Amino acid sequence: MSTASTNTDQELADKLQSLELTQRSEESTVGRFIYWTGVIFALAHIYFNTLGTLSELWVSAIHFGGFALLCALMVPMTRSKTAAGKKLALVLDILLGLAALLCTLYLIGFEDELYSGGVKFAQWDWVFSICAIFIALEMARRTTGWFIPAMIVTALTYVFWWGQYIDGVFGFPGLSLETVLYRSYFSSEGMFGQIARISWTYVFMFILFGAFLVKSGAGDFIIELSRCAAGRFVGGPGFVAVLGSGLMGSVSGSSVANTVSTGVITIPLMRKAGFPAKFAAGVEAAASTGGQLMPPVMGAGAFIMASYTQIPYVDIISIAALPALLYFMSVGFFVRIEAMRSHAGSVELESRPLGEVFKDGWHYLLPLVVLVALLIYGFTPTYAAGISIISVVVASWLSKHPMGLKDILDALAQGSKNMATTAMLLIAVGLVVNVVAMTGIGNTFSLMVTEWASGSLLITLILVALASLILGMGLPVTASYIVLATLSAPALYGLIAEMRLVTMMAAGNLPEAAQTIFLLVDAEKAALLSAPMSELDAQQLLALVPGDFKGQLLEMALDPDTLAMILLSAHMIIFWLSQDSNVTPPVCLTAFAAAAIAKTPPMATGFMAWKVAKGLYIVPLLFAYTGFIGGSWSEVLSIFFFSLFGIYALAGFMEGYLESQLNLALRVLSGLAGVAMIWPHNELLISVAGLIVFLAIFTYSRKALKASEA
């Protein structure tokens, strides 16, 4: 092997290793300490979420202290290769972890004393608050790089220092450093605020649930089930990657974890079947990205979304299921097209009959059934996850390898280790969210986005997509979603709601109560509301309403359920667009992980994954312009059906191939048919015409294939 090739392989191996969180040997003394600390901390969180009566602030502080200790020991400060350097790094990591615990104990022990003194900082209040923020910044740096710490420092200094020197809408008169530190550390607004509470409740319990499922053997069952279900189709290994990643994603909620766990199996299978290596890695990266879109876990996004929108978690995951399925089908279409083009259809997958696999592993599905049933019945997500964890252990007793005490302890420890870096990330990002709340910069930013877009929803979506891509270069998906949702969700919500309002006005269906607002603005033009009008006239009439009255107008015209679904649509758009950083160069961790397995160039793999993951951009358009979220079941199913074929048609247009090569005319026609089925025109005849055209092109390409084989 050449030196260049060896260096490239080493770089890719280093990239994959950088995704491995645990850097110290599990057999060492430190490794054993991490193991037992993880077990104890997992049990403590189960207690906090079920029987605990401690204040949320105290639990958030304990959550910070314990996971900061774990994170400090798991991810060393430096990666020294000398024995002396490793010992020094270990000593510093231990001291930092102990400092985090002291910060927790200080907050619990001296909180009342601070309030009794009139919320005036004593000397040690300054020391421990600054120390806690520093530890949060350092843990974020270790796990995600310098971007998040730099963003937090910029945000905090804006509040008490340089914000007062800015003119215009982004100027801020400033708060004292003492106030900033108090709200960041001592109050339930900053590090230990809403985001931290989501972390120690929903996120931890579901990550622990996933760890138990994997330990019970459910992961192996999912892969084998995927082989049986999809492996026998043309390009079967590619479909195994898509199906396996979708099922694993419903458990892990992590795109990188999906790539590493399923990619080591599916990528070699796809290459063996005849898929190009770059395409195999791109498909795995794109499919694994969908893991955070697939209910019930959806990374941490569903829980944060539920907290932001006040929409029940079970409602969110039920609404998210069809869009997630649409995304995985879109990846599957690219697999089908490439399989036909590369003749990648013949490979013997070593798998047992589907019936035999299901007979031996059906019990692995019981915990998911229990989880969904409990959520539907009305249990809170944390209680449902806790009971579902117990059901994993009970269900394992129906298998040939029941979980014993050692397996349970392993799952508890692994759940804590899986959570460590996520916990520190969420706590650190809570500081930024607090700054946005303190300064009101979120509303200012939303107004600026609306002004830049000149009231255009499409331009706003493009701006949010660009912002998500830029943020995603330095932020993980969850953090990117939190920041973008805080800043731009109000703008998207307002524009989508106004679009629905314009539709009602054009149809002459505006309620009489809402018409009174227009009477106050322009009584003569308000008379036009009694009859249908063009959407352009409706937009011009709506533009007359002052901004202060628009919120009241929306509440009068649209019922609360509709407004809630519009708010969910805005958040779901941002959440989906936040995923693109996983597969879009120059920073795309999921694609890098897949490239390391396939031994392909990372950037080329990233561009391939970006192409295959086009559903990330198409489905949010459906959220914005159609009733895909919040519509009637007939409307939702109709949108799903036509969008399914529409995405397939667009894939054919992009690739210039369906069952066989498409000439330029057919390629363009396929693209037009795809647009006709997807674009929100609300005209059934146009969608049907597009479907007929696409089916005709598909049939023609199928016949051309048979003719070439004859």
Q: What's the CA gap between 591 and 597, in Å, rounded?
A: 10
Q: Which class for 120: exposed (0-12), middle (13-18), buried (19 or more C-beta within 10 A)?
A: exposed
Instruction: Say how far apart CA 535 and CA 457 lie, in whole Å.
Output: 15
- State residue 18's pLDDT score: 42
Q: Percent helix, strand, coil in the chain (nearest 5)?
A: 80, 0, 20
Q: What tokens appear for 132 in the block? A: 């806690």
Give me the pLDDT at residue 269, please.
80
CA distance 237 to 617: 25
For residue 252, what pLDDT is reported? 64
CA distances from 562 to 270, 391, 557, 627 (A): 44, 36, 10, 10
Going by C-beta distance under 8 Å and a sequence separation of 6 or more, which residues neighbour residue 109? none
Distance set, CA 246 to CA 279, 292, 347, 688 (Å):
18, 9, 22, 30
Looking at residue 182, the DSSP 8-state letter turns out to be I
Q: What is the pLDDT of residue 22?
A: 43
Predicted TM-score (pTM) of the model is 0.81
Do residues 140 and 425 make contact, with C-beta atoms less than 8 angstroms apart? yes
pLDDT at 602: 83
Write down the pLDDT at residue 619: 94
* Amino acid at the residue 354: L
**Per-residue pLDDT at 182:** 93
The 8-class DSSP code of residue 235 comes to T
Say what the pLDDT of residue 391 is: 93
517: its two tokens: 């607002």
Q: Are 508 and 530 in contact (CB under 8 A)?
A: yes
Task: Tell me phi and psi for residue 232, to 5 degrees.
Answer: -95, 0
What's the pLDDT score for residue 706? 86
| Of the candidates 695, 701, 605, 709, the residue with the CA atom closest to the CA atom of residue 343 | 709
Per-residue buried b or exposed e for 516-541, using 16+ beta carbons within 10 Å of the residue's own CB: ebbeeeeeeebebbeeebeeeebbeb
pLDDT at residue 616 in the model: 92
- pLDDT value for 465: 86
C-alpha span between 255 and 547 (Å, rounded): 41
- Taking the chain (710 residues) in runs of 10, the rounded mean pLDDT of each run is 39 41 63 93 92 90 95 85 83 94 94 80 92 95 84 91 83 88 90 90 87 85 73 71 75 71 80 86 89 78 85 89 93 91 64 74 86 83 88 89 92 91 88 86 75 84 84 73 86 90 85 81 77 84 81 86 94 91 77 86 88 92 92 92 96 92 94 92 87 96 85
DSSP 199: I
Q: Which long-range contacts (CB under 8 A, 24 or more apart) does 338-341 make?
A: 338/235, 338/238, 338/275, 338/276, 338/279, 338/655, 339/234, 339/235, 339/238, 339/273, 339/275, 340/234, 340/235, 340/657, 340/658, 340/659, 340/660, 340/705, 341/655, 341/657
Q: What is the pLDDT of residue 230?
A: 59
